[in-house]
Structure 1
Amino acid sequence: MDRVKPLPSYLVQRYHGWKATGYADNKAWYRRLASDGQHPRAMVISCCDSRVHVTSIFGADQGEFFIHRNIANLVPPYEPDGDHHGTSAAVEYAVRVLKVSNLMVLGHSNCGGIKGCIDMCKGHAPELEAKDSFVGRWMDILRPRYEAVADVQDPEEQMRALEKDAVVTSLENLMTFPWVESLVNEGKLTLHGLWTDIGEGGLEHYNPETGKFHTV
């Protein structure tokens, strides 16, 4: 692997700064985490977007959240076909091994994955239509929901609507996992749909009774 290079100097400096301060001030806590293992109460499925910082939004410490990130915070339907399923594997581990009691799907404003899905559905992104586009094939999970927002004229409103539909789609797909459905029905697992406005710092939650998102 002669193509692998050392860390950039700025990251090395940041690491040493953290080791001398953040770690040094909480050494006992980190050692306890290492020895006792993880016992998170919640799993968060969020977007890969670097602007979405889940632990900061909820003021969470290390060990509190089991976090899985992917393009557009999507969960595929339950498909035990033997292929690679990173998101499904993360859900399985969180629910069946770690036994989290809350599972949150967090969407966000100005999502690049959602924009790509809209462009693809409008025929403006032929590169995403290619069979070898991992992003395009991943966004196929959401593609059927585009019809619900296709007539929205304002581009920003259309984006926001599909961003929230992505959260609902993931919640619906989670319920196709038999062990998720079983635990939800038993009251041992609770699903939550959330959407955050990056610029405004806002947070909304999905209410299935109204079918809408409401301010937290």
Structure 2
Amino acid sequence: MTRMTDLIEGYYRFRGGEWQEERERWAELKTGQSPRVMIIACSDSRVDPATVFGTRPGEVFVVRNVANLVPPFEVGGGRHGVSAALEFAVTKLEVEEILVLGHGACGGVNAALTRSLEHAAPGEGGFVAHWIDLLDEARDRVLAKHGDGPEGQAALEQEGVRVSMANLMTFPFVKERVEDGRLSIHGAVFAIADGKLRVRDENDVFSAA
């Protein structure tokens, strides 16, 4: 099990290895960042975008949350952490691409599919339940077609990416930039079991990269 002491040891390895190797890069980054890509990913410890895509420091702007979800644009309510990161990435950093990255064996997606946290109180799963209710409509479609087994799980992982991609377009500053060609939106699902990345194509099909 990784503990704080393990993290410190890891830092020393990083400081004596990768940091030294990328010293010029870190020097460039001390005055700011200019990533071209934003990745919206799950908080799951098994799916680190920097690891999956082999990126260098400063290359991707990442926001992570349970089930890699983007809420629709709203000015009320309290789900604005993703919205704030999105606003900063698009309007300040002027990223050119956004990738919504789902993954296999997602616990948040499974909770949405099985409704296992439906009546949980805050602190006992209620916060997660309220967050993943963003998948309610998609879940109903998936259950009707695939059920709540492995096939349904995989289908809802893809549907979750579609939901987030659609919700991105409810943000005026995103929609404007997509329509004038300054920004593009992509979706993909990384399978933990076989390490394959399946990317959503123009026909709305997830195919191996």
Whether 2:21 is the aligned partner of 1:25: answer: yes
Letter in 1 for 2:130: R
Secondary structure of 1:194's partner?
Answer: strand
Whether 2:82 is the aligned partner of 1:87: answer: yes
Secondary structure of 1:150's partner?
Answer: helix
Whether 2:5 is the aligned partner of 1:9: answer: yes
Whether 2:102 is the aligned partner of 1:107: answer: yes
**What's the CA shift for 1:24?**
2.3
For 1:89-139, what per-residue CA distance to the aligned partner results, in whole angstroms no more than 9, with x for missing partners?
Answer: 11100000000000000000000000111121xxxx2x4423531100001
TM-score relative to the length of structure 2: 0.91
| Counterpart in the other structure of 1:148 | 141
Query: Retained in 2: the 8 A contact 1:108–1:163?
Result: yes
Cα RMSD after superposing both structures:
1.6
In 2, distance between residues paired with 1:103 and 1:77? Answer: 16
Secondary structure of 1:69's partner?
Answer: strand
Whether 2:179 is the aligned partner of 1:189: answer: no
Farther-moved stretch of structure 1 (82-91 vs 92-101): 82-91
Query: Retained in 2: the 8 A contact 1:72–1:111?
Result: yes
In 2, distance between residues paired with 1:139 and 1:46? Answer: 14
Residues 119-138 of structure 1: pairs in structure 2 closer than 5 A: 119-120=114-115, 125=116, 127-130=117-120, 132=122, 133-138=126-131
Secondary structure of 1:17's partner?
Answer: helix
Label 1:178 to 1:42 Cα distance change in 2 as closer, same or farther (>3 A).
same
Query: Retained in 1: the 8 A contact 2:114–2:148?
Result: no
Among candidates 48, 66, 71, match of residue 71 of structure 1: 66
Paired residues in the alignment total 203
Whether 2:200 is the aligned partner of 1:206: answer: yes
Query: Retained in 2: the 8 A contact 1:128–1:135?
Result: no
Structure 1 unaligned residues grouped into runs of 5+:
1-6
Label 1:135 to 1:82 Cα distance change in 2 as closer, same or farther (>3 A).
closer
Secondary structure of 2:76's partner?
Answer: coil
Query: Retained in 2: the 8 A contact 1:167–1:194?
Result: yes
In 2, distance between residues paired with 1:80 and 1:154? Answer: 34
TM-score relative to the length of structure 1: 0.89
In 1, distance between residues paired with 2:78 and 2:190? Answer: 32
Secondary structure of 2:64's partner?
Answer: strand
In 2, distance between residues paired with 1:153 and 1:195? Answer: 20
**What's the CA shift for 1:80?**
1.3
In 2, distance between residues paired with 1:69 and 1:179? Answer: 21
Residues 168-183 of structure 1: pairs in structure 2 closer than 5 A: 168-183=162-177
**What's the CA shift for 1:207?**
2.4
Query: Retained in 2: the 8 A contact 1:131–1:137?
Result: no
Structure 2 unaligned residues grouped into runs of 5+:
none
Among candidates 156, 161, 167, match of residue 162 of structure 1: 156
Farther-moved stretch of structure 1 (73-82 vs 103-112): 73-82
Query: Retained in 1: the 8 A contact 2:68–2:102?
Result: yes
Secondary structure of 2:51's partner?
Answer: helix
In 2, distance between residues paired with 1:176 and 1:88? Answer: 11
In 1, distance between residues paired with 2:72 and 2:21? Answer: 43
Percent identity, aligned pairs only, is 37
